[in-house]
Amino acid sequence: MVPSWQRNKKLQTMDNELRQKGFSLTEVLLAVGTLAIGMLFIAGTFLAGVHFTTIATERTIAAVTADEAFAKIKLYAIGNPLDPNDGIDLNRLNPSNLMYINDVLRVPIAFSEFAYPSTRTNPEEKQYYWSALCRRVAPDPNRSVQVTVFVCRKVGASTKYRNPADPCNPAVAVDYPMPVRVGVSGAVGSNVLNIENIENISWINDGYTIVENTTGDKYRVLERVESQPGIFNRIILDKPWLGGQSGSVWVVPPSITGSRGPCIVVYQTVLRF
C-alpha cells in the first residue's frame, strides 16, 4: 500500500506540471501580433475588392451611357429628312480635326440630353455625363463620321469644370465635364510628348486618356514627368505618337477645384449619315 505522504507528493507534482503547461506572455504577444497582421491583410483585400467593384460598376454604367449617346447622336444627326434646317451639317466637318457635336448640328442637343440616366429629373443632380467629338472620315461622297464619346462622372454636387470656349477662365465654368484642346509637341514615333502651355500642365495626368485632334487616335498617359527641374510638362504615352510634331490633343481636365479626373472611359465608333 502506498503511503499517504508519497501519494500527496505525487499529486502535488502532477498539479505543478499542469500549472506549467499554460502560455507564456511572450507566446500570447506573438499570437496576437500574428493575428493582427493577418487581419490587416484581410482588411486590405476587402478594400481592394471595394475599389475594383467600384471600377467595374462605373465601367458598366459608362458602356450603357456610351450606347445611349451614340443612339442620341444618330437620331439628332439624321433629324427630319424633309427639313433642310435640321440634322447634321456635314459641310462643317472635315477629316483633319475634331469638333463638338453641337457645333455641327443645325439644331443643338439640349443640356439635359448629355446627362445619364435619361429620366425626368434635374440633370444637374445626375452623376454621369457624356460629350461627343466628331470628325469626317473622308470628303464627299463619303458620309461616314468618326464619333468619339467621353463618358465622365461628376466630381461633387457643386463642382465646376472648365468651359471649352474659355478653358483658362474659371468665371465661365460649366456644370459638367467636357473635353478641351491642349497644345502638345513631340517627335513622330516617340512615346513622349511635351505640353506646350505652362498653365495647362495639370490638365493631363497619369492614367488619363487623350485623343489626337487630326486623326482621333486615342492614347493612354502612363506618367507625367519633369522636362526640367520643377516643370512637369512631359507625358509618357502607352504607344508611339503618330500625330504631327506640333499639334493638339483633347482631354477632360480635372475640375477647377482640383478633384480627381472626371473621365471614366472614351469610346469611339464610325456612324454613317
Digit-coded pLDDT (tens) for 3-24: 554 555 555 565 555 555 566 7
> CB count, 10 Å around CB of 194?
14
**pLDDT recorded at residue 46:** 62
Side chain identity at 80, as an amino acid letter? N
**pLDDT recorded at residue 22:** 60
CA dist 98 and 96 (Å) reads: 7
CATH number of this structure's domain 180-251, picked from the four choices 2.40.10, 1.20.120, 1.10.150, 3.30.160: 2.40.10
Region 52-65 average pLDDT: 85
Q: Answer for the pair 237, 220: CB distance below 8 angstroms, yes or no.
A: yes
**pLDDT recorded at residue 198:** 87
Q: Is the pLDDT of residue 191 over 60?
A: yes
Identify the residue with better confidence: 250 or 111: 250
Predicted TM-score (pTM) above 0.85: no
The model's pLDDT over 247-264, given as tens digits with 9 standing for 90+, comes to 999 999 998 887 778 999
Residue in this structure with the C-alpha cell 473621365, named with its chain if needed: 263
The model's pLDDT over 31-51, given as tens digits with 9 standing for 90+, comes to 788 888 877 777 766 666 666
Three cell numbers written together for 124 = 444637374
Q: Which of 150, 184, 136 is nearest to 252 (CA)?
A: 150
SS3 266: strand
Share of residues in the chain with pLDDT > 70 (%): 87
Domain boundaries, the chain: 26-177+259-273, 180-251
